[in-house]
Amino acid sequence: MLKIPEHVGIVPDGNRRLAKRLLKKPWKGHEWGVEKIKDILDWCKELGTRVVTVYLLSLENLEKRPKKELDYLFGLARKEIKGILTDNRHIVHRNKVRVRFFGRLDLLPEDLQKDMVMASEKTKRYSDYYLNLAIAYGGRQEIVDAAKRMAEDARTDRIKTSAINEEMLRGYFWTNGFPDPDLIIRTGGERRLSNFLPFQSTYSELVFLDKFWPEFEKKDFFGAVKEFGERDRRFGK
């Protein structure tokens, strides 16, 4: 029997390179990338994978990418969120997907922040599937931010330093309450995690694919899951 991952993490790399190859402006690839994320939601439903976490934008991306590209991405996000808010046949409603955003959201344009809050609110009652979107995210920053706030609570005696353990620290994470990914798929050929859920990916199986994200097909997804199923997860023992 095929072992199905409860939670899949995705690093959807390669949008720009595919666009360049097809002689389009690099960020046109992001438009295709968004559509692919919606496909994933259907494939997960078919498979039984309930949680997907997608690495949309890192803090490094936010810092280093050209303004034009970022504006384009924000535009795509606004458009998609508008769909979630106004179209009852949007896939998140059809599949009953709760959408959540995490990262340094405060660094994003204010109107987009408001949109994200509304989209989260609108899908809050769904519990069949979860789509977590990492935006302005960095694993190190998540850890340090958590350590800071925990230290502040120690300073004000809200917590006892002797009680500090993994569970307590995780309580301060932006991803608090999210399960750890069983499987992380990275498209685009690179073999690195790029600061995606470093703490939470401790026992995640990693599958790397050379295909660019917009080229990712259902058979690739199912292939990665099959590979996951064949692996021997020892959790350090």
Partner 1 sequence: MKNRGLHVGIIPDGSRRWGITNGKPPSWDGRESGEKAKEMIYHILENHPEITEITIWAMSTENFKRDYMDKKRVFDLVENLIDSMLEDKKSLKDRGIKVNFFGTKFDEVPQSLKDAIARSAEMNREHGEIRLNIGLGYGGKFEIVMAAANLAKKIHERSLFKKMTQISERMFEKFLMVPRSLDLIIRTGGERRLSGFMLYQAEYAELFFSDTLWPDFSTKEFDGIMEEFRQRDRRFGK
205 binds partner 1 (CB under 8 A): yes
Of the two residues 59 and 131, which places its CB atom closer to partner 1 in the complex?
59
CB of 109 to partner 1, least distance (A): 19
Distance CA 162, CA 86 (A): 49
Q: What is the DSSP string of 109-146?
A: -HHHHHHHHHHHHHHTT--SEEEEEEEEE-HHHHHHHH
Choices 41-49, 86-94, 107-115, 190-198; region in contact with partner 1 by CB under 8 A: 190-198
Distance CA 79, CA 4 (A): 32
CB of 34 to partner 1, least distance (A): 20
Interface residue with partner 1, options 85, 113, 151, 222 (CB under 8 A):
151
**What angle, rounded to 10 degrees, do the helices at 28-47 and 67-86 form?**
40
> What string marks each residue from 100 to 119 as x (binds partner 1 by CB under 8 A) or -?
--------------------
HSE-up of residue 122 (Cα within 13 Å, Cβ side)? 19
13 belongs to the catalytic site: yes
Distance CA 146, CA 7 (A): 23
73 binds partner 1 (CB under 8 A): no
Q: What is the DSSP string of 168-199?
A: HHHTTSTTTTPPPPSEEEE-SS--S-TTSSTT
Interface residue with partner 1, options 42, 107, 202, 219 (CB under 8 A):
202
Residues contributing to the site for partner 1 (CB under 8 A): 58-61, 63-65, 139-141, 143-144, 146-155, 157, 159, 161, 164-166, 169, 190-195, 198-199, 201-207, 231-232, 234-237
